[in-house]
Amino acid sequence: MNNVLYEKIMNKEDKIALIGLGYVGMPIAVAFAKKVNVIGFDVSEEKVSLYSEGMDPTKEVGDEAIKQTSVEFTSDETKLQEAKFHIVAVPTPVTNDHTPDLGPVKAASKTVGKNLTSGSIVVFESTVYPGVTEEVCVPILEEASGLKCGEDFKIGYSPERINPGDKVHRLETITKVVAGMDEEALENIARVYELVADAGVYRAESIKVAEAAKVIENSQRDINIAFMNELSIIFNRLGINTKAVLEAAGTKWNFLNFSPGLVGGHCIGVDPYYLTYKAEQTGYHSQIILSGRRINDDMGKYVVDGLIKNLIKADVSVKNAKVAVLGFTFKENCPDTRNTRVIDIVDELREYEINPFVCDPEADVQEAKDEYGIMFTDLKELKNLDAIIVAVGHKQFLKLTQEDINNMFKEGQNENKVFVDIKGIFDRKTFEKQNYRYCSL
């Protein structure tokens, strides 16, 4: 194979195929299509139809870029037979008991296998625990294709690092880690990714190393946020402003810049479970990683407990209190609601017989309805409230003035109004001066 495949892709004799056109796969497809011929495959006909009409439901590259791209969007798997370089970018979620759900990556492997031709390279981008690519995906590829890995086709791994909603850290600006089953595969994979990774590629020494590197990136972030959440619980008990403490500590050059909050999404809230699952198989029970997960998974309940205490202090009847939750996505300025932990707040409120109004102008409306049964309320319709929980810091919420917020509450004494600003995006002193019951993590 040598670098022949790379040369053929460059000369547009061979194509690249993206399998999975979500928040990760679609921007990769669009980036590659500026240089080479690309097929974008997804099992969702609805998603493919939107892309074909020039619409970007993920808001990752925007409608204009989708309209102009030369990506051939399809839900016909036989089109994959036209490609020789396959990139699998499907989600790897966890089940309700926090064990890895390899269903999507197994299904994608089978689809690629059925349409795999000799001389191809298959690269997995989905986050997995070390060993999945070689021990789970390869046998599926071989069985579905009738081809032999290492002889008829090669495999590699290149963990995705796209940060949904982040306009600074993009595919082009992030160093791309790549790994191949042998030197030849590694060189072809590295050269192909160099077409779009302007920040360069890092050649990992093995596929397992690359898989492990990805899974610890998000585990590290998860643990750091868990530490901040634990500090927040302690400082709230001591009556100290956590944000003020972090700002003071942050003046030291090596203090890490993390803040408390809800930890959801399809990476940080999921990846640590992949690593601890694999660790359990070797007989090791995680101490730090799972402790961090427990803290972060309990933050929705902690937020609601604080709200209930404040409603009681405000002399508001808890049952049927009018509460609005601003923001439902897993992070700000992004329509993605997958694994959002705001649902924990909604569910916990319902335990107290409070049916909250949920408002999110950024969220994917259909996804929220299908996945969680959530129907959104328009911001303008929020009136006569007893409490507001600002769960996500969307730009649209940051534009709200003090008067806008005042108008959402019931008329009456401000000391009877509860304002929960989870991430402390509003000015605490302004609310406290007006005698609001303000609290944040």
Instruction: Write out the catalytic residue numbers.
Output: 267
Cβ 94 vs Cβ 270: under 8 Å: yes
Rounded to an integer, what distance in angstroms lies between the CA atom of residue 269 and that of residue 263?
A: 6
- State how beta strands 83-88 and 120-124 pair: parallel
Rounded to an integer, what distance in angstroms lies between the CA atom of residue 335 and that of residue 330?
A: 8
| Interacting residues of 369 by C-beta distance below 8 A, sequence separation 6+ | 375
Report which residue type is found at 36.
Answer: V
Q: Hey, what are 370's tokens?
A: 């299908």
Cβ 340 vs Cβ 347: under 8 Å: no
Q: Hey, what are 182's tokens?
A: 């042998």
| Interacting residues of 426 by C-beta distance below 8 A, sequence separation 6+ | 390, 419
Report which residue type is found at 19.
Answer: I
Rounded to an integer, what distance in angstroms lies between the CA atom of residue 127 and that of residue 13?
A: 30
Exposure string over 331-347, b if 16+ CB within 10 A, otherwise e: bbbbbbbbbbbbbbbbe
Concatenating the DSSP letter of every residue in 72-102 gives EEES-GGGGGGEEEEEE-----B-TTS-B--
Rounded to an integer, what distance in angstroms lies between the CA atom of residue 17 and that of residue 61?
A: 18
Q: Give me the residue label for tokens 């993206």.
A: 18
Cβ 128 vs Cβ 274: under 8 Å: yes
Q: Give me the residue label for tokens 């036209």.
A: 82
- State how beta strands 176-180 and 153-157 pair: antiparallel
Rounded to an integer, what distance in angstroms lies between the CA atom of residue 377 and that of residue 391?
A: 15
| Interacting residues of 254 by C-beta distance below 8 A, sequence separation 6+ | none
